[in-house]
Structure formats: structure tokens, C-alpha cells
Amino acid sequence: MSFGSRALAAMQAYGPACVGIDPHPELLEEWGLGDTVDGLERFAAACVEAFAGQVAFVKPQSAFFERFGARGVAVLERTIADLRHTGSLVILDAKRGDIGSTAAAYATAYLDDDAPMAADAITVSPYLGFGTLAPFFAAAEQNDAGVFVLALTSNPEAPQVQHALTGTGDTVAGSILAQLRAANAGIEPMGPLGAVVGATIGQTPEDLDINGPLLVPGYGAQGGTLADLGRIFGDVRESVIVSTSRGVLSAGPDVAALRESVQRLNDDLVGSWS
């Protein structure tokens, strides 16, 4: 199945929630694990037990594993492997972006199904030029994987780049969305190329219908609300993947509490917004 088909099937089975696996130092301490590789391993294992086959998407943040060096990357490899093929799809949050053979190497590392860290999808940055993402798109097509391109992020520094006007009068964000729409055109039930659009961006004039999934961070602890989701994504809600980490992970380390937390999140999204 294509990534678009698998993403829709997962949302229909579990709901639209995506849980970020973000083992930042403060959270490891809150869980009583310590900011060590051992703490990281125990944290990741609890997340796998709580979320595998229980939630549509899980999104490990690569940087929080990489900061421990090779041993941390090894934990990330095991975490991805343990999560995949459980019914939950893994979106690796790495925000990679480069040119030529380097971009191709990143694409192979994260999207080739035989690679040690192969995920179902990856986040990428288009700000070296949209064309530099071609190796990621090609690898995604070969491996029935997905790619999420940063488009309208909610960090305060984003507007100076994303709202800037191109030579054609479109915004940079609008140009990215338009190129994703063109790449996904005609693919059913939706294309494999998605966009990252924050839940706290406010009202936007951009067309968010790209015939592909929208990964929406910022809901919950970062300030995004159900009202924001309805206002920004009301016309494309069936393709929206709502990502949160702290709002769910604060219930840990108890596995049952983590599951209850994500179930409440999905119930809120399905009952009050979807």
C-alpha cells in the first residue's frame, strides 16, 4: 500500500493523533529515569509498549536520541524497528535537507526499507530549494514511504522566510504547498507527500488542500486548540495528523496512563473536531 493509503487507514483505525517521542532531559528527569543512555532506553521502551498498535502515528525526534552519540542512535534504530509493522506508522522527525548525493544519502538512510533506521515517513526542509528534495521523493515512491515538507511552521522566526514573496508574487509557503499539490495530483486516495503546518499559525490565506497529509504540531501544550484546528483546517480535516508530545508524555512513565492519555486525545479530536 502507498503511504497515503496507509496513513488514511491508520487514522480510520485509531484516530488522527500522532504522539511525538521527545526524550528531552527535563522529561527523562520527570519520569525518574535520569538523563542517561539507560534512561533513554527505558523511556523509549515504555513509549513502544504504550503506543505500538495503539495510535496511528508515532514521531521520534531524532535529535534527542542523537545527543547521546552512537548509543543513542542505536536506541533510535531499535525504537523505529519495534514500532514499525505494528499498525502504527513511524514519522521520523529529522528535518533533513541537502543537495545532490548528500540528499540522496539521507533519503536512503531513512526511507530505504532495508536501511537500519528506515521509517514510514520523514520530515524534510525545503529551504535549499524545493528541487533538492527530489531524492527524498524518489526514495519515498520506491519504498511506499512518505515525506513531510516544512511549509507553515509556528515558530516565531518562520514568517520572515515562509511569508516572504517569490518572484511570481506567491509566498514561499504558498509556493511549497503548490508544488506539493502538483506532485500529489491525481493520486488516490491521497498522495504520499505531506506538509508540516502548525496549529498556532493563526488564520492563513494559503490553500492547504495538497491532496496529501498535513502534519500539524503545536496542539495542546504549545497552545493550539480545537478551535484553532477547526479554523485553520476545517476544509481539509480528513487529511490532518495532529501531533503532540508533552500533552501525552506527561502522563508517563506508567504505560497504562500513557495509553489513557492518547485515547483521551483521540476522543477529543474525533468527537469535538473531526
Phi, psi (5° rounding) for residue 268?
-60, -45
List residues bridging with 18 in a β-sheet: 57, 243
The full 3-state SS of the chain, as one line of letters, equals CCHHHHHHHHHHHHCCEEEEECCCHHHHHHCCCCCCHHHHHHHHHHHHHHHCCCCCEEEEEHHHHHCCCHHHHHHHHHHHHHHCCCCCEEEEEEEECCCHHHHHHHHHHHHCCCCCCCCCEEEECCCCCHHHHHHHHHHHHHHCCEEEEEEECCCCCCHHHHCCECCCCCEHHHHHHHHHHHHHCCCCCCCCEEEEECCCCCCCCCCCCCCCCEEECCECCCCECHHHHHHHHHHHHHHEEEEECHHHHCCCCCHHHHHHHHHHHHHHHHHHCC
Catalytic site positions: 95
